[in-house]
Amino acid sequence: MKDDFVAACEILDRARRVLLFTGAGISTESGIPDFRGPDGLWSRVDPADFTIGRYLNDPELRKRRWRMHLDGELWGSRSVVRPNRAHHAITDLWRAGKLSGVVTQNIDGLHQEAGVSDDHVAELHGNIRRAHCVGCGEDWATTEVLARVEAGEADPMCLDCGDIIKTSTVMFGEPLPMNEWGTALVMAAQAEAVLVIGSTLGVFPAADVALEPARRGVPMVIVNLGPTEHDHLARVKLDGMAGELVPQLAQAVLGR
Ligand code: APR
């Protein structure tokens, strides 16, 4: 492992710009469950309940979903979740000018909470802190919609056009936000190394942002607890906790 750690530091040190690609595993130490880890969300709820088709056609599902947000079960704006040491270490790398950008699959907004400016974070699966009308596109802070739910509107509709409201996260069956996708591809094109943290790299097209550079020879370092679906493409794989390994990598690379 020590040799792997040294090799990872050399890769990250040599690269002028590193693409950061994060998944749910970077936020578990902040108290947010991942999806496919040992007690991941998909072991407790049916992913099919998170498809856009069901959400739009099933008022009872929408009411359950708003209730879960209100009770903080979906770590939304009501949950008091804070960035952890891995997020802060990434911010240190970003502040030092080391990153071409942060591409995340997470919807928790914790990279921005840790200090990375919003325009340097590409949120491929959206952000749970915003909500919008599926009809006219009007959007609000999720807290504003939850205040309506708390006041008794179990399935709040758009006040402008009367259509359905959903949090601005990408559900299965929905396209990725094109602006975020475009930003992510620019960040990937500028990268001379890729650092993946806390993802099984099994969901597409998101995972391609990290895998495409690796396939054309850009060295990829993976920090993950357990296997990912593409460990074979990594130049170095560090199997362990992000909250431990990422600060150590950042300190080594920044010479602190
Ligand atoms: N440190 C390092 N790795 C961790 C930690 C940790 N503290 N905690 C969990 N992990 C690992 C898990 O073992 C798992 O391999 O992080 C990985 C998380 O993988 P997933 O749960 O599949 O999450 P992710 O890759 O982000 O999923 C991608 O799938 O369901 C969709 O939209 C959802 O964005 C999500 C996408």
| 197-208 pLDDT, tens digit each | 999 999 999 999
pLDDT category at 2 given cuts 50, 70, 90 is confident
Task: Give the C-alpha separation, 104 to 147, whole Å.
Answer: 28
125 an active-site residue? yes
Tell me: do 7 and 65 sit in the same domain.
no
Q: Which atom of ligand 1 is nearest to the CA of 34?
A: 21
- How far is ligand 1, taken at its centre, from the CA of residue 86, in Å? 14
Question: What average pLDDT does this structure show over 169-193?
Answer: 96
Place of tokens 């009308």: 133
Q: What is the pLDDT of residues 99-121, one digit of tens each?
A: 999 999 999 999 999 999 999 99
Residue with tokens 């993950």: 224
SS3 121: strand
Which of 169, 199, 231 is a domain's end point? 169
Chain centre to alpha carbon of residue 140: 21
Q: What is the pLDDT of residue 227?
A: 97
Q: Confidence band (pLDDT; 50, 70, 90) for 77?
A: low
Q: Write out the residue range of the structural domain in which residue 116 sits.
A: 1-32+82-125+175-256
Domain match, 52 and 133 both = yes
Helix, strand or coil for residue 185? helix
Q: What share of the chain is helix, strand, coil (3-state, %, to 5)?
A: 40, 20, 40
pTM: 0.95
Half-sphere exposure of 7 (CA within 13 A, CB side): 14
Mean pLDDT, residues 5-24 taken together: 97
62 lines ligand 1 (CB under 6 A): no
Q: What is the arithmetic mean of pLDDT over 46-62?
A: 94
- Quote the number of domains for the chain: 2
